[in-house]
Structure 1
Amino acid sequence: MSRIWDSRTDTYEIQTEEYSGPMDLLLDLIQKAELDITKFALAQVTDQFLAFIQQHQDADPEYISEFLVIATKLIQIKSEAMLPRPPERPADEEDPGEALARQLYLYREVKKATNWLSQRAESGKRSYLHIAPKYAVTAQIDLTGIDIQDLILALENLNNQDQSVRIGSVISIPKITLRKKVQEIISLLQVHPNTSFNSLLGENRSRINTIVVFLSILELVKQRLILTEQKENFSDIEITAEEGIASASGIELTIED
């Protein structure tokens, strides 16, 4: 960027240069000459670099001073390249041509990355995907209690069991009411406050008895007279009596009998 004096306004007019700095110019000269970034390539483009400075003598001194620093290094590199043998240097002193070539190479890589990011920003791709690391997933079971869905799953599991009977067996269907079953469970829990779904079924695994016991448990859960817990999927449902079970008698059902 250079500043040209405007006598009409007594101010500097800022103009944008073709190159952002000396490294930008140096890289462009080498790329146009289709050369690799080496100290010999730097020596070859020295005259063109100096010609650019000559053409911009009226530029802002601060801007052009950066080019003069690099020009001094290029003149030294070209002068040494014309010698019949490389000059001797102390072991701890780096070759100026190699040092400048390395700096130019790094500048080129940074410029590539900057241009790539600018293109993504202009195209609206300002966010970058971050892939979350994969973690091993350990299966866990919530043991704080079960809900109605757990009871339904347990009921379906029992219904899927073999309910076949021998041909010729005489099947008598006893009359089982929801109200009677609820009272039976309450009476049992008043004596034994801990039981399970399978224990309540007993030997009668018929579908009708399973349904009635299931609905009875559901009713007692709604009445907050029992707590239920299933330690594993499809395992037996543990039932624990609440404090109110001791005085429960003749409760009003929320489900039709």
Structure 2
Amino acid sequence: MSPNSATVPTRKEGENSAALEDSEAQPLHDGENPAFEVNTPEYTGPFHLLADLVAKRKLDITAFALAEVTGEFLEYIAKFPNLSQATEFLVIAATLLDIKAARLLPGQAETEEDLELLEAQDLLISRLIQYQTYKEAAAFIEGRWEENSATAPRIPGSDPILKGVLASLKTTIDPEDLARRAAGTIFTAPPQVLVTHLHDPLVSVSEQTGVLTERLKRARTLTFKELIKDAKTLPVIISRFLALLDMYRNGSLSFTQDTPLGKLVITWVGKSNAPVPDTEEDEWE
């Protein structure tokens, strides 16, 4: 055995060590089955106390036979199967195994790799301490829950002084009137949906063709922006654009646009005394 190893006496011998007193926690059992205990030359007692002893460096983990403890636990879990116990054992055993592997590495902390190994060992110990902290907190919460599970709140009655302040409820309607009012609230008439606002008044393309023809005959050349300058609504602008396309198709206009999306120049190329071309409204519906 290593000089740094420690043999922890069992509670059965009546010698409660300081480590056992300082590390008091819930044993590894579910309240019905007996707790799993370890019986080795280095340590004899509850398995869950191993974590505290190793974390406080009161037990040399390098001299502890984890394989022997694992075999004993497999026999124990075969007799008392419990998923919670198995999970708890795996957490503690895996952490102890990592700590033992880190401490068994030879050499001094002289290189950067050695320092990293020592830091990893400290992280494992801190993880073990965190596990024990959460375990004790869970045991405390469970105890408080059991203590207060049988309690029930007491709902006090109204204060006698306040009873005189409250006004008595008096009904002034009969059941038929109440039913009629309820029916009027629940079964309301379906709302009327009006569609008149969905469509603006139609703008005649033929009418806008006449307006554009008169302007272009006088000015000969105008831009599209000038032709729609007095248009107050979007339907009027659309109708004038359609009228220009129809007039261009009939050979009365020519379009000029030097750059893409640039200024559109419209020039009248028809006869000055030519009548206003007829436009089929159905084509633009």
- TM-score, normalization: structure 1? 0.29
Which of 1 and 2 has greater Rg?
A: 2
The structure, 1 or 2, with the larger RCO (C-alpha pairs under 8 Å, 6+ apart) is 1
TM-score (norm 2): 0.27
